[in-house]
Amino acid sequence: MSFSPLINNLIESLRCLPGVGPKSAQRMAMHILEHDRARGTTLAQALAEAIDKVGQCDTCRTLTEQPRCDICSNAKRDERLLCVVEQPSDVIAVEQSGTYRGRYFVLMGHLSPIDGVGPEQLGIPQLLVRLQEGGTEELIIATNPTVEGEATAYYIAEQAKPLDVSVSRIAHGVPLGGDLDLVDMGTLAHAFKGRTKFS
């Protein structure tokens, strides 16, 4: 026994959303059909329009519906700094920190040979061409502090070595507001290795 075909179809389709299991999908479908059809229609349209029109920025590869994203077309950004991140949401996170005013390059993933993701898929040749064209003084690699993120960072650093650009990696250590005894050993080891002098 289950709902009518169209409702079942909606419940099943909602499960493509990450973190949505059978119970939440059912709750979402019921909520929309019982209480919120207008916003459900808006969602259907927003989804269809974004899927249809959002592509990648020609320059930095982030997701945008324009040929060039806002940051890449902003003449006030510092051309000398280029920050490499894995995802478009990482760009937003760095922007929200408010400390960085340079440019970005978005890999849209990390090296993962087992999934068929190599340098080509991450646009690394495009990144190297951009570095060769000059103008970039420092390449800041801000991939995630995971095994894959570290491997990707290492690969990019190696590839950029022969070029006339300084390559750096963002610091890993104890997060602000974190309790020292709740931080994992790897992070703590990083925090000690990367210690800086009081000035």
The helix/strand/coil state of 192 is: helix
Closest separation in Å from C-beta 121 to a second copy: 12
Closest separation in Å from C-beta 52 to a second copy: 9
Q: Of 39 and 164, which has the nearer Cβ to a second copy? A: 39
Q: Of 97 and 196, which has the nearer Cβ to a second copy? A: 97
The C-alpha angle with vertex 124 and arms to 168 and 136, in degrees rounded to 5, equals 45
Strand positions, DSSP E, 5-93: 55-56, 63-64, 78-85
Selection from 76, 135, 78 nearest residue 104 by Cα: 78
Closest separation in Å from C-beta 9 to a second copy: 5
Q: Of 33 and 151, which has the nearer Cβ to a second copy? A: 33
The helix/strand/coil state of 182 is: helix
| Measured distance CA(69)–CA(174) in Å, rounded | 33
Cβ(84)–Cβ(143) under 8 Å? yes
Residues interacting with a second copy, by CB under 8 A? Answer: 1-7, 9-10, 12-14, 16-19, 24, 26-34, 36-37, 39-51, 53-54, 63-66, 69-70, 87-89, 92, 95-96, 108
Q: Of 74 and 132, which has the nearer Cβ to a second copy? A: 74
Closest separation in Å from C-beta 156 to a second copy: 20
